[in-house]
């Protein structure tokens, strides 16, 4: 009870300290191209072949020797003989993508020809290489295609396939241990009935697990751990092989809040108390080389800690490039009051062109997130926003 937050650290500074303590994983694994989308390349890809590997027609039409077409025009066509090889005065039909026959060096597009029996009228002059895709036009042998850490998209998988690859080396997904703590928790595996007064169904573990997986980590959720330092210590010890540990609940300064002290006793507590509302009791630390996030048990505060620390942490562990967030500019349908000295995470709902803040909802009211379409962040030094003011709205994913 005499305990207080170590100090209050700003969100930016807390994130900086946390990310500084995290090194990207170097462990790799091979995956088939069918499973490579959304993964991060752990090797440099240099092409072993030319694509295309043959001279191909870029158009449907007739393959010719360009030197056979001087001055050809609709008024003054050149007549060539249909044949099964290309010599002086002969031509062959060719479709888009087909290999240019030996001897040919250009394609006259079909629109510039007229076929008369076994003769073809060529109605346009072509220069050598006209309508021909050269060897290596798409990709040259020895060409650098992707650097290490490239984030693989479906179109990239097709490029890798065209090089004759069937597997690529990618970074292993970060394994995130999720440890729900709290004497008041009942596992949903035991009952889904209304629990006795003072007891609640454990749901933060499920939320954390689904966000971890959405953000391209692998969640390893443990059973519920009681509010005792020894129990929490044991659970952390058991999960020290994970790439990050999340301790859910017990992060504040009450009698039953032991998570930060456990982190401090086993490693280094970097931050306890962050300048964000909700989410203030969040603690960040490192045990050996494993980053640890202590998330508040109140679900909205826990969500904020997931967004602001766990998501960037997973990104750094997995070398996953940051994607710009979707931000909408909207006017406020009502004013927002905000506490100075804290970033305020304000849930909002769309209301026509505007957004309406859900102001009454406390950190314990997860349904306020379910009802929300997005959130607005009010910076530390701002007291609030007026009705009608334009703000940045982030979507809740």
Residue 148 interacts with a copy of itself (CB under 8 A): yes or no: no
- Site mask, a copy of itself, residues 181-210, x = CB under 8 A? ---x---x---xxxx-xx-xx-xx-xx-xx
Select the span of 44-52, 72-80, 83-91, 236-244 touching a copy of itself (CB under 8 A): 44-52
Dist. CA 98–CA 223, nearest whole Å = 61
Cis peptide bond upstream of 356, omega within 30: no
32 vs 387, beta carbon nearer a copy of itself:
32
Task: Say if CB 73 and CB 102 are below 8 A apart.
Answer: no
Select the span of 13-21, 158-166, 240-248, 380-388 touching a copy of itself (CB under 8 A): 158-166
Residue 267 C-beta: closest distance to a copy of itself, Å: 26
Residue 56 interacts with a copy of itself (CB under 8 A): yes or no: yes
Residue 369 interacts with a copy of itself (CB under 8 A): yes or no: yes
Angle at 214 between CA 192 and CA 361, to 5 degrees: 60
Q: What is the DSSP letter of 308?
A: I
Residue of 126, 157, 177, 314 that binds a copy of itself (CB under 8 A)? 157
Dist. CA 371–CA 367, nearest whole Å = 6
List 245's β-bridge partners, or say none.
177, 292
Annotate 221-238 with b (16+ C-beta within 10 A) or e (fewer): bbebbebeeebbbebbee
Select the span of 83-91, 160-168, 287-295, 333-341 touching a copy of itself (CB under 8 A): 160-168
Residue of 93, 134, 233, 384 that binds a copy of itself (CB under 8 A)? 93
Task: Say if CB 269 and CB 16 are below 8 A apart.
Answer: no
Residue 105 interacts with a copy of itself (CB under 8 A): yes or no: no
Binding residues for a copy of itself, rule CB under 8 A, total 80
Residue 299 interacts with a copy of itself (CB under 8 A): yes or no: yes
Task: Say if CB 178 and CB 218 are below 8 A apart.
Answer: no
DSSP string, 354-366: EEEE--S--TT-T
144 vs 382, beta carbon nearer a copy of itself:
144
Distances (CA, A) of 264 to 68, 226, 292: 84, 19, 11
Residue 49 interacts with a copy of itself (CB under 8 A): yes or no: yes
220 vs 335, beta carbon nearer a copy of itself:
220
Nearest CA to 383 out of 351, 355, 347, 346 is that of 346
Per CB under 8 A, contacts with a copy of itself among 3-22 are none
Residue 218 interacts with a copy of itself (CB under 8 A): yes or no: no
Residue 38 interacts with a copy of itself (CB under 8 A): yes or no: yes
Per CB under 8 A, contacts with a copy of itself among 112-131 are none
Using the structure block, give the residue that is written with the tokens 């997130």.
Answer: 369
């Amino acid at each position: 009870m005499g305990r207080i937050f170590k100090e209050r650290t700003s969100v930016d500074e807390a994130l900086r300290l946390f990310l500084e303590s995290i090194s990207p994983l170097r462990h790799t694994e091979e995956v088939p191209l069918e499973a490579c989308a959304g993964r991060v390349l752990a090797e440099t890809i240099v092409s072993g072949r030319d694509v295309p590997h043959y001279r191909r027609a870029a158009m449907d039409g007739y393959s010719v020797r360009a030197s056979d077409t001087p001055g050809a025009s609709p008024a003054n066509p050149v007549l060539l003989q249909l044949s099964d090889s290309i010599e002086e005065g002969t031509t062959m039909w060719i479709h888009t993508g087909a290999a240019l026959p030996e001897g040919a060096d250009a394609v006259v597009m079909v629109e510039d020809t007229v076929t008369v029996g076994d003769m073809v009228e060529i109605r346009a002059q072509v220069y050598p290489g006209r309508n021909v895709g050269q060897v290596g036009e798409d990709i040259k042998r020895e060409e650098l295609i992707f650097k290490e850490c490239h984030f693989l998209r479906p179109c990239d998988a097709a490029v890798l396939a065209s090089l004759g690859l069937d597997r690529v080396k990618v970074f292993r997904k970060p394994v995130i241990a999720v440890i729900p703590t709290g004497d008041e928790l009942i596992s949903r595996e035991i009952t889904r009935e209304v629990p006795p007064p003072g007891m609640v169904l454990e749901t933060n573990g499920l939320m954390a697990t689904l966000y971890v997986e959405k953000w391209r980590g692998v969640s390893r959720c443990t059973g519920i751990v009681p509010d005792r330092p020894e129990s929490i210590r044991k659970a952390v010890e058991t999960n020290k092989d994970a790439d990050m540990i999340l301790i859910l609940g017990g992060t504040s300064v009450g009698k039953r809040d032991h998570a930060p002290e456990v982190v401090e006793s086993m490693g280094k507590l970097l931050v306890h108390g962050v300048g964000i509302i909700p989410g203030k009791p969040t603690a960040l630390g490192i045990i050996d080389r494993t980053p640890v996030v202590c998330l508040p048990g109140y679900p909205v505060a826990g969500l904020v800690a997931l967004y602001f620390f766990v998501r960037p942490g997973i990104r750094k562990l997995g070398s996953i490039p940051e994607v710009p967030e979707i931000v909408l500019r909207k006017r406020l349908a009502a004013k927002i009051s905000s506490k100075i000295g804290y970033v305020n995470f304000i849930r909002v709902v769309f209301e026509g062109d505007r957004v309406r803040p859900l102001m009454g909802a406390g950190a314990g009211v997860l349904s306020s997130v379910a009802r929300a379409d997005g959130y607005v962040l009010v910076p530390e030094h701002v007291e609030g926003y007026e009705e009608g003011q334009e703000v940045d709205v982030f979507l809740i994913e």
